[in-house]
Amino acid sequence: MKENRITERLFNGLIKENPTFVLTLGMCPTLAVTTSAMNGLGMGLTTMVVLALSNLIISLLRKFIPNRVRIPAFIVIVASFVTMVQLLLQAYLPSLNSALGVYIPLIVVNCIILGRAESYAYHNPPLPSLFDGIGMGLGFSVALTLIGAVREILGAGEIFGFHIMPKGYTNINIFVLAPGAFFVLAVLTAVQNYIKKKAAAKGRDVSKVGSGCSEDCLNCGDTGCSRRFYDADGSTENPNLGNNLKQADTETGKPEQADAERADTETGKPEQTDAEQAGTETEAGEEGLKDE
């Protein structure tokens, strides 16, 4: 697949660099709003709209935004879109708005958005940036919906509000409460670790897996959440740019093969895991593939 093509960008966001399952970015909303599949979907789509539009505008303005004040500029653009989306939700989907509550304005500080602005939209033309945003947003929506579905099925025996579990099933209430979110994510990252190790043993490139900074904030440079507001000495400018160029290089360096391999690892999931909860997660993963 050619670099920067629309389909490539969509595929990249959905599977190859899925923000939740692969990069592990944006954990706060992932845990907070996935009490049901519907809330997860709503949050995912809201984030997608903001992400796509802000990517588009940042990309259009990339030649006019001075490097040193790019972070404040990104924040203003993202916050404007978040405010618009929030007002629209208040007007047309008040129930979703009240279910998501304070997490809607908090989309501003979602590392996925600043991360994509910093590492993609600021260096690429508008159309690919728009579709990069849509792809990443779709990946995030699918991930949140799946996690929400797992929690809703285990915790309430329902999915999208429809009762599906057999009569004898006792709801495990804890899964819709706060601790359940941590447990689901723990199993998810364990599955991710497992797949990463398998793939690394076969000599595949796994540098992207879990590269969001959720493990080590102090050494996190790529994703933009630890950037200084005003880059007074321009110190982050050059290494960062170099980093992006390097990334772009490796991306063009590995064409279809890598994509096919990622797909392999995704479908290879079910046979390899045996733990019960891990099984649920991978089923969810399969659904994700079918959805496409």
Partner 1 sequence: MNNITNIRDLFILLVGSSLVSNVVLSQFLGLCPFLGVSKKIKTAAGMGAAVIFVITLASAVAGVIYKYILVPFNITFLQTIVFILVIAALVQFVEMFLKKLIPSLYEALGVYLPLITTNCAVLGVALTNVQKNYGIGTGIVNGFATAVGFTIAIVILAGIREKMEYNDIPESFKGMPSVLLTAGLMAIAFCGFSGLL
Site of tokens 């405010």: 83
Does 190 bind partner 1 (CB under 8 A)? Our answer is yes
The radius of gyration computed from the CA coordinates of the chain, to the nearest angstrom, equals 19
- Output 189 or 247, the one with its CB closest to partner 1: 189
Smallest gap from residue 106 Cβ to partner 1 (A):
5
Q: Is 139 in the site for partner 1 (CB under 8 A)?
A: no
| Spatial distance between the Cα atoms of 257 and 10, rounded to a whole number of angstroms | 17
Per CB under 8 A, does 258 bind partner 1?
no
CA 241-246-248 angle, 5° bins: 95
Under rule CB under 8 A, residue 201 binds partner 1: no
d(CA 125, CA 135): 16
User: Which has the closest alpha carbon to 227: 100, 75, 123?
Assistant: 75
Query: What CA dihedral angle connects 14, 189, 223 and 226, to 10 degrees?
Result: 150
Minimum CB separation of residue 123 from partner 1 in Å reads: 20
- Contact segment (CB under 8 A) with partner 1 among 9-17, 61-69, 79-87, 138-146 equals 79-87
Closest CA to 24 of 214, 223, 200: 214
For partner 1, which stretch binds (CB under 8 A), given 51-59, 83-91, 164-172, 282-290?
Answer: 83-91
Q: Looking at beta carbons only, is 76 or 245 nearer to partner 1? A: 76
Would you tell me which residues interact with partner 1 (CB under 8 A)? 24, 27-29, 31-32, 71-72, 75-76, 79-80, 82-83, 86-87, 102, 105-106, 108-111, 114, 174, 177-183, 185-187, 189-191, 193-194, 197, 210, 213-218, 220, 225-230
